[in-house]
Amino acid sequence: MSTASANVRTAPPAQVHKASGDRAVSLTSHTVLSLWAVIVIVPLLWTVMTSFKTTSEIFASPFALPKQWNFDNYVNAWTTAGIGTYFFNTVIVVGFGLVIVMTLGAMCAYVLARYQFFGSRVIYYLMLAGLTFPIFLAIVPLFFVLQGIGLLNTLPGLILTYVAFALPFTVFFLYPFFKDLPTEIAEAAEVDGAGEWRKFFQVMLPMAKPGMASVAIFNFIGLWNQFLLPVALNTNRDNYVLSQGMAAFASQAGYAVDFGALFAAVVITVVPVFVVYVIFQRQLQGSVTGGTMK
């Protein structure tokens, strides 16, 4: 009798049932994840493939490969449809907004998590209350506020609005990261003569890098795909962001729509989000591994 057979026969029933249950859970989870991957990847690949077709090819054979792979649709989308202008406007708004909200959010979360002062809990709960406030209820007040300070229909106005709505989530997300940082390291930095600014930027902030990377991903995706705020607060076509430009491009009347260029514009819109996610994901994994090794 082999050793493996002896082990199987002598294994307790509880362990056998546990192993069977683990295999069932693993099989079910892998099946569900595989189906979800197909649901997500197939439309994405179809969109990329269609972006190289002409409008006539799309209607004639929507699921066939393009007869000729060329980038004319991307050129038309970037120039004729104005996606290039909308793209740079979006980069400006999201770039400045992300830098400001990450800086202010990290500083605010650090102070609320590491220092106890009168009203600190009130400020924190007010930040949490900001997460529950629907955006559409603030559209009318925001419109008049931006109009009053001369920032309506401008990119700086959109930047400030994006920062205001992303700040509560950033503080809420980073608060536990700064709360759990070891106090001994901060005290050691103070003993070495580091001031508050140097202690925060050179010691505590790098230790919260996993949280910063995670919240940066969420904020970037949310700001990049923002639609309601730009539509309500930015009616100047020269200052359109990608979401507005895509909506205007897709709403052209009748058969005048260049569907090949439309799909190319969709790919242009999606690629930056994918690239940023991959970059920050690698930084997040590296930070976690480095922290574990230390």
The CATH number given to whatever domain includes residue 208 is 1.10.3720.10
Please check whether residue 5 lies inside any domain of the structure: no
Please check whether residue 238 lies inside any domain of the structure: yes
CA distance 112 to 120: 6
User: Does residue 134 surpass a pLDDT of 90?
Assistant: no
> Model confidence at 242, in pLDDT bands (50, 70, 90)?
very high
Report percent pLDDT > 70 for the chain.
Answer: 87
User: Does residue 44 surpass a pLDDT of 50?
Assistant: yes
**Per-residue DSSP letters for 19-82?**
HHHHHHHHHHHHHHHHHHHHHHHHHHHHHHHHTTS-HHHHHH-TTSPPSS--SHHHHHHHHTS-
| pLDDT tens-digit map of 176-189 | 989 988 888 888 88
**Mean pLDDT, all residues of the chain:** 85
Which two tokens mark 287?
């930070």
Report pLDDT for 291. Answer: 42
| pLDDT tens-digit map of 214-229 | 899 889 999 999 999 9
State whether 113 and 45 are in the same domain.
no
User: Does residue 16 surpass a pLDDT of 80?
Assistant: no
Report pLDDT for 189. Answer: 84
State whether 95 and 237 are in the same domain.
yes
| CA geometry: angle 126, 128, 134, nearest 5 deg | 100
Please check whether residue 130 lies inside any domain of the structure: yes
CB 185 within 8 A of CB 136: no
State whether 182 and 39 are in the same domain.
no
In this predicted model, which residue has the larger pLDDT, 4 or 34?
34
The stretch 267-284 carries a mean pLDDT of: 81
Helix (H) or strand (E) run with residue 13 in it: helix 13-50
State whether 21 and 137 are in the same domain.
no
CA distance 156 to 65: 43
Report pLDDT for 99. Answer: 96
State whether 86 and 192 are in the same domain.
yes
The stretch 98-126 carries a mean pLDDT of: 92
Please check whether residue 6 lies inside any domain of the structure: no
The domain of 40 spans 13-50
CA distance 2 to 5: 5
Which two tokens mark 149?
């300070």
Burial pattern 84-107, b for ≥16 Cβ within 10 A else e, equals ebbbebbebbbebbbebbbeebbb
Please list the helix, strand and coil fractions of the chain in percent, rounded to the nearest 5, in that order: 80, 0, 20
Sign of dihedral through CA atoms 110, 116, 119, 122?
Answer: positive
State whether 36 and 124 are in the same domain.
no
For residue 86, the Cα-to-chain-centroid distance in whole angstroms is 19
State whether 125 and 243 are in the same domain.
yes
User: Does residue 4 surpass a pLDDT of 50?
Assistant: no
Instruction: Please state, in angstroms and as integers, the Cα–Cα distance from residue 248 to each residue in 54, 84, 130, 172, following that order.
Output: 20, 14, 31, 35
User: Does residue 286 surpass a pLDDT of 60?
Assistant: no
For the chain, report the end-to-end CA distance as a whole number of angstroms: 48
State whether 139 and 241 are in the same domain.
yes
Helix (H) or strand (E) run with residue 258 in it: none
Please check whether residue 60 lies inside any domain of the structure: no
Please check whether residue 199 lies inside any domain of the structure: yes
CB 224 within 8 A of CB 90: yes
In this predicted model, which residue has the larger pLDDT, 103 or 3?
103
On whether the pTM is more than 0.85, the answer is no
Residue in this structure with the two tokens 């994405």, named with its chain if needed: 44
State whether 42 and 76 are in the same domain.
no
> Model confidence at 80, in pLDDT bands (50, 70, 90)?
confident
In this predicted model, which residue has the larger pLDDT, 109 or 213?
109
Structural domains in the chain (count) = 2
